[in-house]
Copies of this chain bind each other. A is one copy, B any other.
Amino acid sequence: MGLDHIHIAIVEDEHEIRQTLSLILDGSKGFTCRYAFPDAESALASIGNLPVDVVLMDIDLPGISGIEATRKLKRENPKVDFIILTVQSDDDSIFESLCAGASGYLLKDTDPTDLLQHIREVREGGSPMSGPIARRIISSFRVIDNPLSDRETEVVKMLAKGLNYREIAEVLYVSPNTVKSHIKNIYSKLHVGNRAEAIYKAIKQKLI
């Protein structure tokens, strides 16, 4: 499965789309559509040895979903790149797909010519994503607002590393009592009562 010629599998329940995609691929230099499965089950039958470079996976399939199929197939074929090709653009579909091991996420309104370029892109180590999808993903990293002072944030980070009062105090060159004061203030600001919860909240709110 070299970089020169790309072998592809399609998993797509709609007959029309499946046909169109495979025709486009086989009609394009450097691309071969090796499989065109109508559901996840038939794709999973060849699990363990899927002799393709790239899988184009629909999400909304009869029976097992494309996301589940991606998870199982990726586990057994880690070198294969999975591109989700779907109409779903909700956050759950996007993030679950990525967690399942997809390397790209394209909407079905993608131009066929662009699709070929995107397939090349994923083989070259990229991650093709439709514009709005990419924006959603990167937006998920945005920080809300940080109620903690810089010093307090420093302390929370050290708590997450498992340091205790004394150890934090040594790093900061202050008294352990001061560290304790900071931690009490942190608890109060985050509305928690112990380290475990504080760290959980701090991470969820992207404070650390």
Contacts and interface: CB of A to CB of B under 8 A. Distances in A.
Number of copies: 2
A138 B103 contact: yes
Interface string A117-157: 00001001111111110110110011100000000000000
A98 to B, nearest CB: 4
Interface string A169-196: 0000000000000000000000011111
A197 interface: yes
A104 B198 CA distance: 31
A203 B203 contact: yes
A203 to B, nearest CB: 5
Interface stretch (A12-20, A44-52, A159-167): A159-167
A123 B139 CA distance: 15
B125 A160 contact: no
Contacts of A129: 127, 134, 138
Contact of A127 (B121, B126, B135, B164): B135
Given A102-B138, A162-B192, A196-B198, 7 more contacts: A99-B142, A125-B131, A127-B131, A129-B134, A134-B134, A162-B194, A194-B195
Interface of A: 95, 98-105, 121, 124-132, 134-135, 137-138, 141-143, 159-162, 164, 192-200, 203, 206
